[in-house]
Amino acid sequence: MGVCEGRVVIVTGAGNGLGRAYALGLAAEGAKVVVNDLGVGTHGEAGLTKGAAEKVVDEIRAMGGEAVANTDDVADWEAGGRIVKTALDTFGDLHAVVNNAGFVRDRMFVSCTPEEWDAVIRVHLRGHFCTARHAVDYWRAQQKAGKTVDARIINTSSGAGLQGSIGQSAYSAAKGGIASLTLVQAAELARYGITANALAPNARTRMTQEAFGERMSQAENSFDVYAPENTAPLVTWLCSTQSAFVTGQVFELQGGKIFLSEGWTDSPAEDKGARWHAGELTPVVQRLIAARHPAKPVYGA
């Protein structure tokens, strides 16, 4: 029996890459999966991968699993409700939402247009809001009706969101926002039996292959460090009942390495006991920077 036996899970952006690996991994561990994918390209171009969700559903059914396709837009409020309704109408319940859908519009900040900025923020931040918000309404109603809720929200941040990435100002801002959103969800939703965690995977996808090329090329005769399937076991475990004790965490992954992001925390401080004068702050700030743990560098710096 798999760790997700009988669990119903929505995976957004599940037609390719990481999302596809998550959907297949969840199904292999007994989950019933709603495979959501709008069928767009890596920059959000409509129709480039039409039918991707259905193909993944066929793969899951061929291996003996249960799945249903959904092609709604995760960043549309009404569509988010339809995604949740698909799970409830097909499988009668919902236990987890894996927010994975997204695309990039790589551009240096000085060249980024308002339209590109809005498109990236919409699919990532609003896309993480809509489906999960409808799911929370369902879980909250269950809890208020006296039912035991053991639900999960799995969000997708990125190293770009945690450290920043040159040429990806909108994407980095959105992914940083998702990490913060996860912290708030974990704090607010625990009372309803809902946990919230996030991932910052480092894997080969359509988006990362465009950005990093050879670095993400498939390994030969050795462990494929960047295979998207490496991230699937953690996602599956986070969706299971076994992960109930974990919430408000951001997991970073690369190959067989898994670790937690320590996030923002207080550094060493200097207290004058009175108001500082602007002219005396240079050595103070220098000492504080020298005393703290060094930050990871911005990607591409």
d(CA 272, CA 254): 43
CB-based contact 300:167 (threshold 8 Å)? yes
Report how far apart, in Å, the C-alpha atoms of 277 and of each of 268, 280, 281, 282, 287 are.
20, 6, 7, 10, 16
Residue with tokens 């236990």: 95
Give pLDDT, residue 219: 56
Q: Is 96 helix (H, G, I), strand (E, B) or coil?
A: strand
pLDDT tens figures, 196-211: 999 999 877 555 445 4
What residue ranges do the domains of the chain occupy? 8-260
pLDDT tens figures, 77-106: 999 999 999 999 999 999 999 999 998 788
Strand partners of residue 260 = 251
Q: Is 66 helix (H, G, I), strand (E, B) or coil?
A: strand
Residue with tokens 């339209």: 115
Q: What is the DSSP string of 22-34?
A: HHHHHHHTT-EEE
Domain 8-260 classification at class level: alpha beta
d(CA 57, CA 37): 11
d(CA 273, CA 197): 39
If we measure between CA atoms, which residue out of 14, 29, 24, 62 comes closest to residue 205? 14
Q: What are 194's two structure tokens? A: 């809902």
d(CA 161, CA 264): 13
Give pLDDT, residue 49: 56
Give pLDDT, residue 221: 59
Q: What is the DSSP string of 180-207?
A: HHHHHHHHHHGGGTEEEEEEEE----HH
Asked if 175 is an active-site residue, the reply is yes
CB-based contact 238:94 (threshold 8 Å)? no
Residues 6+ apart with CB under 8 A from 78: none
* DSSP code of residue 227: -
Exactly one of 157, 175, 243, 299 is catalytic; name it: 175
Exactly one of 22, 138, 171, 226 is catalytic; name it: 171
Exactly one of 22, 32, 157, 158 is catalytic; name it: 158
Asked if 299 is an active-site residue, the reply is no
Give pLDDT, residue 214: 56
Low-confidence ranges of the chain (pLDDT < 70): 40-50, 205-221
Report how far apart, in Å, the C-alpha atoms of 27 and of each of 30, 88, 152 are.
5, 17, 16
What amino acid is encoded at 299 in this protein? Y
Q: What share of the chain is helix, strand, coil (3-state, %, to 5)?
A: 45, 15, 40
Strand partners of residue 8 = 32
**Nearest-10 Cα torsion for 279, 265, 250, 219:** 60
Strand partners of residue 9 = 33, 96
Asked if 171 is an active-site residue, the reply is yes
